[in-house]
């Protein structure tokens, strides 16, 4: 399984599950750079990623995160779960074949105290609204006071979902991706501190 080309696996899975994947190719470097720009790599210890696919963003997080940090990846496509488990050999990574909406149960099982960053590429616009609400409830409930929810989406409607759960939302549009996407960073107003603008980015307060 480890020898399978990740991009090929992603494309063939798109033909089987176009709605679940939302894109025929993994995220671009530009999108990943924008999405991860807000992360305080020195401070953060607990990361979760929803919908890692073949690990395009996962690898970038692992490359940058602290040696003591940990990353939990939740993916419902079992082909991708098997691929990730065999292709990425890093003791800091836990890959689980669970839905993002099961975050709380998985964190309790792993005995993680909190999450510092949740990173998501799951397609809110094509999911059952009740599932999206469950994901957002779980995420908000488990984020640390300084934590942020970093999300990329292909549909503008996704901003409305975020607005219903988080008070402080920034959006940056990334044209250089297939398809073009909006990167959001969201946090609750109960959390302290100023939100800092993304490196080299043009963050706006418009959650559109």
State the residues that interact with ligand SAM by CB under 6 A: 20-23, 26-27, 50-53, 56-57, 74-77, 80, 99-101, 121-122
Nearer to ligand SAM, 69 or 134 (CB): 134
Nearer to ligand SAM, 36 or 76 (CB): 76
Based on its alpha-carbon atoms, the radius of gyration of the chain, rounded to whole angstroms, reads 16
- CA 49 vs. chain centroid, Å, equals 4
- Omega of the bond leading into 184 within 30 degrees of 0 (cis): no
- DSSP percent split of the chain into helix, strand, coil, nearest 5: 35, 20, 40
Nearer to ligand SAM, 99 or 143 (CB): 99
- Dihedral sign for Cα atoms in the order 89, 44, 188, 181: negative
Provide, rounded to whole angstroms, the least separation between the CB of residue 143 and ligand SAM. Answer: 17
C-beta pairs of 125-131 under 8 Å, 24+ apart in sequence: 125/153, 125/154, 125/155, 125/157, 125/158, 126/19, 126/20, 126/22, 131/99, 131/101
CA–CA dist 139, 162 (Å, integer): 11
Provide, rounded to whole angstroms, the least separation between the CB of residue 199 and ligand SAM. Answer: 19
Residue 68 three-state SS: coil
Provide, rounded to whole angstroms, the least separation between the CB of residue 98 and ligand SAM. Answer: 7
Provide, rounded to whole angstroms, the least separation between the CB of residue 27 and ligand SAM. Answer: 3
Nearer to ligand SAM, 83 or 166 (CB): 83
Nearer to ligand SAM, 59 or 170 (CB): 59
Q: What is the DSSP letter of 204?
A: B
The residue number with the shortest CB distance to ligand SAM is 51
Provide, rounded to whole angstroms, the least separation between the CB of residue 101 and ligand SAM. Answer: 6
Nearer to ligand SAM, 2 or 18 (CB): 18
Nearest to 28 by CA among 117, 124, 122, 152: 152
- Dihedral sign for Cα atoms in the order 160, 147, 183, 6: negative
Provide, rounded to whole angstroms, the least separation between the CB of residue 123 and ligand SAM. Answer: 6
């Amino acid at each position: 399984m480890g020898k399978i080309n990740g991009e090929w696996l992603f494309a063939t899975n798109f033909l089987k599950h176009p709605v679940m994947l939302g894109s025929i190719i993994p995220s671009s470097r530009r999108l990943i750079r924008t999405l991860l720009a807000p992360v305080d790599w020195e401070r953060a210890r607990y990361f979760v990623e929803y919908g890692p696919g073949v690990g395009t963003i996962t690898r970038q997080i692992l490359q940058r995160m602290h040696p003591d940090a940990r990353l939990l990846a939740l993916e419902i496509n079992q082909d991708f779960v098997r691929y990730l488990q065999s292709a990425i050999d890093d003791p800091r990574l836990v890959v689980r074949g669970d839905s993002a909406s099961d975050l709380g149960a998985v964190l309790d099982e792993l005995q993680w105290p909190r999450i510092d960053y949740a990173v998501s590429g799951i397609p809110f616009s094509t999911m059952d609204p009740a599932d999206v609400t469950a994901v957002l409830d779980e995420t908000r409930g488990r984020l640390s006071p300084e934590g942020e929810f970093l999300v990329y989406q292909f549909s503008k409607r996704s901003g409305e979902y975020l607005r219903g759960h988080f008070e402080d939302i920034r959006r940056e549009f990334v044209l250089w991706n297939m398809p073009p996407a909006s990167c959001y960073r969201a946090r609750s107003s109960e959390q302290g501190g100023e939100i800092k603008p993304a490196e080299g980015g043009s963050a706006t307060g418009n959650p559109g």
